[in-house]
Amino acid sequence: MLTVSMTVNGKEVTKTVDPRTLLVTFLREHLNLTGTHVGCDTSQCGACVVHVNGQSAKACTMLAAQVEGADVTTIEGVAKNGDLHPMQAAFKEHHGLQCGYCTPGMVMSALDLLKHNPDPSDEEVRHWLEGNICRCTGYQNIVKAIQSAAQEMRS
């Protein structure tokens, strides 16, 4: 067993876990933060995207031990005091989600995109989302939502 400590959504946590524990398992099973999802076993779908030290990362592809001491943000840490972040609000406004399963990963990934590129073209948005699979929406309204959030966040 191994003791890991990190900051998750602003709170410091320390847990003793099996050294093989993936970050996504750590979040879901040990912290009960079940908003981060698992959609695949080959690091392809992006349902598990979180931010580690401000960068998007696939939580299914890292060990909890690897992020020792890091600052982790999950989908649960995005809204403030119950108010949706402009990115979340835009997903709602533009119907960028249906079943909601890919949604946390999409939102986390989109937030990272805008950090790198606050004014992306549609093509750049679509390209950035290559690592996030959505089976429901056909992506069109996700792109629309991200563009609308980008505009909102620029202003």
Partner 1 sequence: MPDTGIGASVKRKEDYRFLTGKGHYTDDINKAGQVYACFLRSPVAHAKVTSINAEEARKADGVVAVFTGQDMADDGVGSLPCGWVVTDRHGDPHKAPPHYPLVRDKVRYVGDQVAMVIAESLSQAREAADMIEVDYEELDPVIDMKSAENAELIHEEAPGNLCFDWELGDKSAVDEAFSKADRVAQLDLVNNRLIPNAMEPRAAIGEYDSGTDSYTVYSTSQNPHLLRLILCAFVLNLPETKVRVVAPDVGGGFGSKIFAYAEETACTWAARKVGRPVKWTAERAESFLTDAHGRDHITHVELALDAGGKFLGLKVDTKANLGAYLSSFSTCVPTYLYATLLAGQYTTPAIHCNVKGMFTNTAPVDAYRGAGRPEATYVVERIVEVAARELDMDPAELRRKNFIQPDQFPYQTPVALNYDTGDYEPTLDKALQMIDYTSFSQRRAESERNGKLRGIGFSAYIEACGLAPSAVVGSLGAGVGLWESAQVRFNATGTVSVFTGSHSHGQGHETTFSQLVADKLGIPYENVEIVHGDTGQIPMGMGTYGSRSLAVGGSAISKACDKVIEKGRKIAAHLMEASPEDVEFKDGHFTVSGTDKSKAMAEIAFTAYVPHNYPEGVEPGLDETAFYDPLNFTYPAGVHIAEVEIDPDTGMTEIKDWVAVDDFGRILNPMIVEGQVHGGIAQGVGQALYENCVYDSDSGQLITGSYMDYCMPRADNFPTFRVGMTTSECTHNPLGVKGCGEAGAIAAPAALMNAITDALDQEIDMPASPEKVWRIAQAKIKQAAE
Interface with ligand FES (CB under 6 A): 38-40, 43-48, 58, 60, 97-103, 134-137
Question: Which of 42, 81, 154, 155 touches partner 1 by CB under 8 A?
Answer: 42
Identify what 117 binds: ligand FES, partner 1, none; CB under 5 to 8 Å per kind. Answer: none
Q: Is 91 in the site for partner 1 (CB under 8 A)?
A: yes
Nearer to partner 1, 7 or 30 (CB): 30
Nearer to partner 1, 49 or 69 (CB): 49
Beta carbon nearer to partner 1, 67 or 96 = 96
Contact 81, 9 (CB under 8 A): no
- The torsion angles phi and psi of 145, rounded to 5 degrees, stand at -65, -45
DSSP secondary structure string for all residues of 35-94? TS----SSS-S-TTEEEETTEEEEGGGSBGGGGTT-EEE-GGGTSBTTBPPHHHHHHHHT
Return d(Cα 135, Cα 111) in angstroms, integer. 20
Element spanning 122, H or E: helix 122-128
Nearer to partner 1, 69 or 93 (CB): 93
Question: What is the SS3 assignment for 117?
Answer: coil
Q: Which residues bind partner 1 (CB under 8 A)?
A: 18, 20, 28-29, 33-42, 44-45, 47, 74-76, 78-79, 84, 88, 91-93, 95, 97-104, 107, 122-123, 125-127, 129-130, 132-143
